[in-house]
């Protein structure tokens, strides 16, 4: 949401989040302010072949030029960082769905996270390695080449310093930052991937708390970063646990194959009475022998009280439902559950609906798996 596609590189959509468009002018102002120019000019002077002309950088609109050039250069550096992750991932035949630049940096969305520890390790360190190359390139240019333009000299030196800082910061073992993913990869050498994720995520939460505390007294951006790390670490831990529980199972294994059916022309009032009698909350909707949708208690609840005697199930049922093949991996299919407010996924075999995945059926399967019980894989569910 609020992401705009601006380019395509190696077939990867490059997107910019609206937060970045708001943040760049602010970042340009912060970089171009007199204090920041003085601080970074002093650092750049320590390795540059010539001193930074600070008075020239403060003349007229030059601070704004410096600020915007540095801010845009920073996010170009972040894009290169994410492309580093993407390039290595693609070498392992992992599809990159998109790269998004936003207020806190960049995110490369991988179609899947490799469970092989060495693959995740190389993918994780590729980004910081590219940032290190960018820092080294800026350092060499400023240290060796005579650059008469003070703006160009300052921006190149600033990018060298900031990229090196980002390398160090990114390698902090705060999952899901790059350092946290390196930590998970190393932990996964000697323990299951799910357990390694939980350990790395727990450490990430601790760092999130630390960043939040420091941010309260110093920098608001650290508070935003802390919130991102906390939510992402928790989310990654839940997703990995779910993937581990469903590993090796298909959509057929987690589908409810005994879901009752209700005729499309049944009134909502009569359907409500049936739900009370059956003590069920989800039904397939049929027209003749053909399954045309699904209906649940929420659909009945949303029907107007005075119209339930004339409104039919067909009027309130969900018809445009996602459909998956019976032998599709279970974890891949549940990503569609709840999308666009839906709560049903139809499972098909040979074009015929043979089951349905609901939050209730998924919850039942997960409860069994969490208690160490196996699904009866040797029994054909249909």
pLDDT at 335: 66
User: Do residue 128 and residue 155 come from a single domain?
Assistant: yes
The answer to whether the beta carbons of residues 288 and 239 sit under 8 Å apart is no
pLDDT at 381: 40
Q: How far apart are CA 156 and CA 56, in angstroms?
A: 16
User: Do residue 341 and residue 207 come from a single domain?
Assistant: no
pLDDT at 132: 95
User: Do residue 196 and residue 339 come from a single domain?
Assistant: no
User: Do residue 21 and residue 92 come from a single domain?
Assistant: yes
Nearest CA to 239 out of 175, 167, 309 is that of 175
Q: Percent of the chain, pLDDT > 70?
A: 91
The pLDDT-based confidence of 301 (bands split at 50, 70, 90) is: confident
More confident residue, 268 or 155: 155
Residue 156 confidence (pLDDT) above 80 = yes
Most confident of 27-36, 135-144, 184-193: 135-144
User: Do residue 274 and residue 164 come from a single domain?
Assistant: no
Q: Is 301 exposed, middle or buried (0-12, 13-18, 19+ CB in 10 A)?
A: exposed
Residue 378 confidence (pLDDT) above 50 = no
The pLDDT-based confidence of 382 (bands split at 50, 70, 90) is: very low
Using the 3D structure, point to which of 171, 199, 233 is the last residue of a domain. 171
Cα-to-chain-centroid distance, residue 71: 24
pLDDT at 90: 93
pLDDT at 53: 86
User: Do residue 3 and residue 121 come from a single domain?
Assistant: yes
**Total structural domains in the chain?**
3
Using the 3D structure, point to which of 245, 276, 305 is the last residue of a domain. 245
User: Do residue 337 and residue 264 come from a single domain?
Assistant: yes
Strands 344-349 and 352-358: antiparallel
User: Do residue 150 and residue 286 come from a single domain?
Assistant: no
Q: Which domain holds residue 102?
A: 1-171
Give the pLDDT mean for 5-11: 87
pLDDT (tens digit per residue) in 200-222: 888 888 888 888 888 887 777 77
Q: How far apart are CA 251 and CA 345, in angstroms?
A: 10
User: Do residue 10 and residue 133 come from a single domain?
Assistant: yes
Q: Assess if residue 382 is contained within a domain.
A: no
Using the 3D structure, point to which of 245, 260, 281 is the last residue of a domain. 245
User: Do residue 233 and residue 91 come from a single domain?
Assistant: no
Q: Assess if residue 95 is contained within a domain.
A: yes
- Which CATH number does the domain housing residue 305 bear? 3.10.580.10
Q: How far apart are CA 259 and CA 275, in angstroms?
A: 12
Q: Assess if residue 117 is contained within a domain.
A: yes
């Amino acid at each position: 949401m609020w992401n705009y596609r601006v380019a395509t590189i190696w077939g990867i959509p490059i997107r910019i989040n609206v937060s970045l468009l708001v943040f760049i002018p602010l970042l340009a102002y912060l970089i171009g302010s007199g204090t920041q120019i003085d601080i970074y000019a002093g650092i750049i002077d320590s390795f540059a072949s010539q001193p930074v002309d600070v008075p020239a950088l403060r003349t007229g609109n030059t601070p704004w030029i410096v600020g915007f050039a540095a801010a845009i250069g920073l996010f170009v550096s972040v894009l290169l960082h994410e492309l580093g992750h993407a390039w290595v991932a693609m070498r392992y035949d992992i599809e990159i769905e998109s790269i998004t630049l936003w207020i806190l940096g960049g995110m490369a969305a991988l179609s899947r996270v490799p469970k092989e520890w060495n693959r995740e390790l190389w993918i994780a360190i590729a980004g910081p390695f590219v940032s290190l190359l960018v820092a080294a390139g800026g350092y060499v240019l400023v240290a060796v080449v005579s650059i008469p333009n003070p703006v160009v000299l300052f921006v190149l030196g600033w990018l060298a310093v900031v990229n090196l800082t980002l390398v160090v910061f990114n390698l902090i073992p705060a999952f899901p930052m790059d350092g946290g993913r390196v930590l998970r990869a190393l932990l996964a050498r000697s323990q299951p991937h799910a357990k390694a994720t939980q350990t790395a995520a727990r450490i990430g939460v601790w760092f999130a708390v630390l960043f939040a505390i420091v941010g309260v007294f110093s920098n608001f951006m650290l508070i935003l970063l802390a919130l991102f790390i906390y939510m992402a670490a928790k989310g990654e831990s839940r997703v990995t646990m779910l993937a581990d529980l469903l590993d090796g199972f298909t959509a057929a294994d987690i589908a409810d194959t005994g879901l009752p059916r209700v005729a499309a022309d049944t009134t909502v009032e009569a359907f409500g009475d049936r739900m009370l009698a059956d003590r069920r909350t989800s039904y397939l909707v049929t027209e003749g022998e053909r399954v045309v949708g699904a209906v649940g208690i929420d659909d009945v609840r949303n029907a107007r009280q005075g119209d339930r005697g004339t409104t039919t199930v067909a009027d309130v049922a969900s018809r445009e439902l996602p459909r998956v093949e019976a032998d599709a991996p279970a974890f891949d299919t549940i990503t569609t559950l709840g999308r666009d407010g839906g709560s049903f996924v139809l499972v098909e075999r040979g074009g015929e609906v043979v089951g349905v995945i609901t939050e209730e059926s998924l919850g039942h399967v997960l409860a069994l798996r969490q208690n160490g019980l196996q699904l009866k894989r040797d029994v054909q569910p249909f």
